[in-house]
A and B are shown apart, each in its own frame.
Chain A
Amino acid sequence: MSTPITTAAASAGSLVDEVEHVHVDHLAGAKADRRGRPRVDRIYYLFLVPTLVLFTLAITVPAVLGIFYSFTNFIGFGDWEFIGFTNYIAVFSDPAILSSYLFTFGFAIVTVLLVNVIALLLAIGLTSRIKLKTGLRAVFVIPMVISGIVIAFVFNFLFSNSLPALGSSLGIPWLSESILANPDLAWLAIVIVSAWQSIPGALLIYIAGLLAIPGEVYEAADIDGATPWYKLRSVTLPLVAGYVVINVILGFKNYLNVYDVIVGLTNGGPGTATRSIAMTIFTGFTGGDYAYQMANATIFFIIAILISVLQLRLTRGRAAIS
């Protein structure tokens, strides 16, 4: 499969390449052409091109095809015709889609804040003078290796059976019913389980960040008589700021794709109160809204790109500072 491309690319350089090639082929190594560029050993194409082809077929073609269909009235099979931006205009005035964006972004913001506050506090605790450091760290990382859907099923049981039992025995009315069945509180359950699952990743990054701070900084602060709060605010936080940026952006991008945990807890309900962007897009395949949901997906893609650009800017800024 790669042969024609390989040959074409190899001869695309210059004739000199080809002439030299004949003479020096047996001297495998870092030979250079007249412009000082090393000559490309053909096997490198074999290393790269199959992956490129596979990647193009598996990712690029579907992406292009999907964006293409978003300008049509395709329903997943059969005939279709171009309808321009009709889908996009409809998406912007569709209450179901707008509410899924509102829910997903609200969820992502709350989860990012919760995860980072807890993870940073845990990391400070785990790098302080305590016993059982390794054991505790090992325990805190466990949620990272558990499948999101499975742990969501476990929490589903706790939220719909154990918590209400606890609530009614304590006489708290809003807790004696399953919060998963409450349209105003169900999102909270999703935040809790997502946070439970993603704290370890952020925690490990914060521990690395805290361990990179030289101990002398704290000794100097001690000599100046700094209080623990002052040390946290004026020494620790500024020195882990870069790690906070990494965690916030990686986490946020991740939470925007939320799906597994919702399927395991509420399946988008009650009603459509906890339906995420991903869930809305997937209805396109069963609901005959293929092209329409591809318009939605394309908008989501643009948002994802904007966030990534922001990430590159911020992390590059960090590199410049340190």
Chain B
Amino acid sequence: MTQAAARPIPLTSPREEAVATTSTTTTRTTRRRRRRVGQEKTNWGTMVILLLCALTVLLPLYVTVSMSLKSTTQAVDGNAFSLPSPIDFSGFATAWELTNFPVAFTISILVTVGTVVGTVILAALASYAIVRNWEHRLFRWSFFYLLAAMFLPFPVVALPQIQLTGLVGLANPVGVTILHIMFQLSFSILLFTAFLRSIPLELEESARMDGATTWQTFRQLIFPLLAPMSATVAIFAFLASWNDFMMPSLIIADSSQQTLPVVQQIFQTQFSTNYNVSFASYLMAMAPAIIVYLFTQRWVMEGVTQGAVKG
């Protein structure tokens, strides 16, 4: 490994150069060399294969869009890949009413926002308390206690949770939000504590010299420093909460308060042949997350990579 990593040192670089400078110089050389090679030859074979694979991702999405724009008569002919002619938006109007879209959408948004905000705040506060008081048993043990939930799949506690949420009047979106936060905690605390341990204590000490309380230090110094990790935690919480089907479908007792993914079920039992309507509804359920993703791609990709590799 060490031998392999030994890079060709540029002849001009003096020995006294700082480590950081050396590494940037070498990356630059490597990059320059790569670009030169890249200009020589693009791997077209690989690219064609990748484009074909990308089609398998895009095809179901194309079918969803094109089916949703068909008229009911065209949709039932069963040819999923034909282009809609004429373009007919009535599927969206019907789907909007059948699923009571505004209500389901609002509930999904509230649950997701509640989960993201709740997870980031509770996990950041708890992680800060744990890392700064690691010598104290209560805090150290709390860390392992909270982390233990990572080993607990939801199906294991589902039945008692359905029973208990019903008992205390939380068989509703509020209950789902609380449970979503609790199931995100372990992983989020793991990420936050790893990051907090890398923040030098001197930063905080200087703030405290200036008379800042623990709360002020957290609020004005630590929490802003945590921002990149908060973004990662938020992305995971968003994806888990917005797309969840299992928990809301089991916990929320009143079907008129169901989240967006769960209400899609009505097309399996009723209206099952009005494909343009059901696909319009699927599209409306998918679109928000895809749109959010398109605007935050880089964050999402970096966040997921960072989270998965560290977690």
Contact = CB atoms under 8 A, between A and B. Distances in A.
A297 B34 contact: no
Contacts of B286: 146-147, 150-151
Nearest to B128: A47
A260 B245 contact: yes
Given A128-B46, A148-B245, A51 B4 contact: no
B136 to A, nearest CB: 6
A297 B245 contact: no
Contacts of A120: none
Contacts of B123: 51
Contact of B185 (A51, A207, A304): A51
B11 interface: no
Given A282-B250, A297-B156, A147 B261 contact: yes
A210 B150 CA distance: 27
Interface of B: 4-7, 30, 33-34, 37-38, 41-43, 46-47, 49-51, 53-54, 56-58, 60-61, 63-64, 67, 78-81, 122-123, 125-126, 128-130, 132-133, 135-136, 138-139, 142, 145-146, 149-164, 178-179, 182-183, 185, 201, 205, 208-209, 211-215, 218, 239, 242-246, 250, 260-262, 264-265, 267-268, 275, 278-279, 282, 285-286, 289-290, 292-294, 297, 300-301, 304-305, 308-309
A204 B246 contact: no
B151 A305 contact: yes
Interface residues of A, number: 96
A44 B245 contact: no
Chain B at the A interface: mostly helix, strand, loop or mixed? helix
A145 B293 contact: yes
A37 interface: yes
> Looking at B47, B123, B211, which has the most chain A CB atoms within 10 Å of its CB?
B47
A158 B60 contact: yes
A162 B139 contact: no
A149 B185 contact: no
Contact of A205 (B56, B161, B218, B308): B308
A282 to B, nearest CB: 6
A59 interface: yes
A270 to B, nearest CB: 15
A52 B160 contact: no
A43 B212 CA distance: 13
Given A9-B138, A153-B278, A162-B78, A47 B164 contact: no
Interface in A118-145: 122, 125-126, 128-132, 136-145
A96 to B, nearest CB: 16
Given A30-B208, A141-B300, A147 B289 contact: yes
A130 to B, nearest CB: 4
